[in-house]
Amino acid sequence: MDSIRKKELQVFAAKARMGVIEGVYNAKAGHPGGSLSICDILAYLYNCEMNIDPKNPKCETRDRFVLSKGHAAPALYAVLALKGFFPYEDLKTLRKSNSYLQGHPNMNKVPGVDMSTGSLGQGISAAVGMALGAKFDNSDYRVYTVLGDGELEEGEVWEAAMFAGNKGLDNLVALVDFNNLQIDGTIDEVNSAYPIADKFKAFNWHVIEIDGHDFEEIENALNEAKNTKGVPTCIVMKTVKGKGVSYMENACGWHGKAPNEEQYNQAVSELNAKLEELEA
Amino acid sequence: MAEVIKCATRDAYGRTLVELGDRGANIIVLDADLAEATKTGMFKKAYPDRFVDVGIAESNLMGIAAGLAATGHTVFASSFAMFAAGRAFEQIRNSIGYPHLNVKIGATHAGISVGEDGASHQCCEDIALMRTIPGMVILNPADDIEARACVLAAAEHDGPVYMRFGRLAVERVFDENYKFEIGKGNILSDGTDVTVIASGLMVGEAVTACKKLKEEGISARVVNMATIKPIDRDIIIDSAKKTGAIVTAEEHSIIGGLGSAVSEVVCETVPVPVVRVGVNDVFGKSGPAVELLHIFGLDADNIVKKAKQAIELKK
């Protein structure tokens, strides 16, 4: 990956993080921690990987994205807005009663959202159905879904994983946001899903483990997924919950809480500093 | 005497899926390891390339159905009512109902008439559960003719549909000329003293009850209500006005099903007595299906008894 492209992606991801903070702060509610941890993967997917067209969001041959961890909607909305699916200013209406930007993604209200999600474990099943749909149609679009690591505690995830592995859905990529935190504590404290990679391997998936904030590793993993035939690919991304906002990083308490004004100002100034550093 | 034709609605379901395939309908049929019993196995045999068995995983069944529908396919997803509406309720609610996707749920083995398998499999709550999902259409056909019509209508309908089928072979109520329309009940015989509104296998019992009531000088209207949602308000209001008393009859809990749906309309429009025949807030048990139906009061004699009670309440 050349340095210019890498910098462009870093700038996009920083802007997406700004969008997350704007949305959650104005909503006075939402899930900043798990949104910030997936901004880099979304930046890569929507800029470099997926075949999408913001002017034709329902194009039948487009690649699909399912946010199985639907509570990270602020990140998805920020990325969609930055891509031009809808105005960036609308992010400030997140979770308001007159807004189309619902607390969790709604495919019928938000341009660019391919599946309504929010109840954990269900998104991956829908993504499997979409991948199966592509096979039925002999279409070559691909399906990407992002799961939380805590979400792996839902039994439906493994029903879906077992089916996708057995059917060899090689047009499906599941990306696990492995930040090791869930609401009630760390993953291993609450109900450990470890070892995550071995579990997916046992379900007949090709598994790649990467740093979820390293664009080169993201690119290499997604290319490897594309070249993997006959089985679906799971990319376990080691991430930092709250990434990019110092006081939110690796802090369990920022799973589902909005910053106050002072905290908002600090987050914005940190992200602006990052952007200035990148754009210098 | 004409030959009595008996057929389970689940058989009509399987046959009609094949008919849709024969007509070139671009449907995909899913099952969760019950294809022989739900009769989707007929479709599997005829169109193996358009059939997928997801295994014993009903939550994933509904999620996969949703994903297929989101990519433009019309999907029929089948299991027993207990596991479709029961186990996978939240998947139906959030992944199918909320996004209003084109998934047709073919739920078989509904009600007490499952028989010997007993209470764990006798789902009498499915209609109550499905009724609470906005935009869900609920169809509960009386016989094989109506079951076929329901499947064809569901395939044409834009949005989610829950179809309730039975395991037990039941006598045919309708003839080949029967016309079905989603959201419309129909009067099978008219009367003036009381209306029996029935669905599913209780329609045949209601027809028998009507004859018995007639022998006792009581004139009963019989309404077949195959669509539980959206409920046909007009036919309920008309029946309440013209007969002044209503009995509902269903092979489902008296809580949340047809009886509740009819009562809700009657209470808010033409308040007249409504007496419900159904499963009285108890679990089922093992036994031969027909015997169980009598034990649980799901028969013509109980409808007759409740019709007299309803008429008494008018006074």
State how far the alpha carbon of A155 is from the alpha carbons of A80, A108, A148, A177, in Å. Answer: 30, 27, 13, 17
B302 and B195 in a single domain? The answer is: yes
Residues present in chain A in total:
280
Size of interface A-B (CB pairs under 8 A): 102
In the block, tokens 């919950």 appear at A241
Number of other CB atoms surrounding residue B5 within 10 Å: 13
Measure in Å the smallest separation between the Cα of A261 and chain B Cα atoms.
Answer: 34
The pTM of this model reads: 0.97
Cross-chain Cβ contact A126/B52 below 8 Å: no
State how far the alpha carbon of A218 is from the alpha carbons of A43, A49, A117, A213, A252, in Å. Answer: 10, 10, 24, 8, 25
B212 and B291 in a single domain? The answer is: yes
Chain B touched by A161 (CB under 8 Å): no
Give me the mean pLDDT over the A34-40 stretch. 98
Provide the pLDDT confidence category of residue B315 given band limits of 50, 70 and 90.
confident
B194 and B81 in a single domain? The answer is: no
B119 and B266 in a single domain? The answer is: no
Residue by residue, DSSP assigns A253-264 as: GGSS----HHHH
Looking at the partner chain, which of A126, A137, A159 has a beta carbon nearest the beta carbon of B67?
A: A126
**Residue B224 · residue B242 · CB < 8 Å:** no
CA–CA separation, A267 and A264 (whole Å):
5
B171 is annotated as an active-site residue:
no
B150 and B283 in a single domain? The answer is: no
Say which of B3, B36, B58, B268 is annotated catalytic: B58
**DSSP for residue B75:** E
Beta-carbon contacts of A241 under 8 Å, excluding residues fewer than 6 positions away, are: A33, A34, A36, A37, A179, A180, A181, A248, A249, A250, A251, A252, A254, A255
B160 and B200 in a single domain? The answer is: no
Tell me the CATH number at B125: 3.40.50.970
Domain boundary among B171, B205, B220: B171
Q: What is the pLDDT of residue B1?
A: 52
B28 and B166 in a single domain? The answer is: yes
**Domain limits for position B62:** 6-171
B229 and B158 in a single domain? The answer is: no
Chain A touched by B81 (CB under 8 Å): no
Question: Would you identify the CATH topology of the domain A3-279?
Answer: Rossmann fold (3.40.50)
Number of other CB atoms surrounding residue B7 within 10 Å: 16
Strands B103-108 and B161-164: parallel
CA–CA separation, B78 and B61 (whole Å):
8
- How many domains in chain B? 2
Residue B180 included in any domain: no
Provide the pLDDT confidence category of residue B3 given band limits of 50, 70 and 90.
confident
Looking at the partner chain, which of A66, A125, A131 has a beta carbon nearest the beta carbon of B60?
A: A125
- Is the per-residue pLDDT at A38 higher than 70? yes
Q: What angle do CA B305, B309, B315 make, to 5 degrees?
A: 150
Percentage above 70 pLDDT, chain B: 99
Percentage above 70 pLDDT, chain A: 100
Digit-coded pLDDT (tens) for B260-280: 999 999 999 999 999 999 999
B157 and B237 in a single domain? The answer is: no
Cross-chain Cβ contact B54/A163 below 8 Å: yes
- Is the per-residue pLDDT at A252 higher than 90? no
CA closest to A126 among chain B residues: B67
Digit-coded pLDDT (tens) for A179-228: 999 998 999 999 999 999 999 999 999 999 999 999 999 999 999 999 99
Cross-chain Cβ contact B60/A163 below 8 Å: yes
CA–CA separation, A253 and A247 (whole Å):
10
Cross-chain Cβ contact B73/A136 below 8 Å: yes
CA closest to A110 among chain B residues: B99
B133 and B196 in a single domain? The answer is: no
Domain boundary among B145, B171, B197: B171
B239 and B118 in a single domain? The answer is: no
| Whole-number average pLDDT of chain B | 97
Substitution target in B62, B73, B95, B158 with the highest count of A β-carbons within 10 Å is: B95
Provide the pLDDT confidence category of residue A123 given band limits of 50, 70 and 90.
very high
Digit-coded pLDDT (tens) for A63-120: 999 999 999 999 999 999 999 999 999 999 999 999 999 999 999 999 999 999 999 9
Domain boundary among B105, B136, B171: B171
Chain B touched by A131 (CB under 8 Å): yes
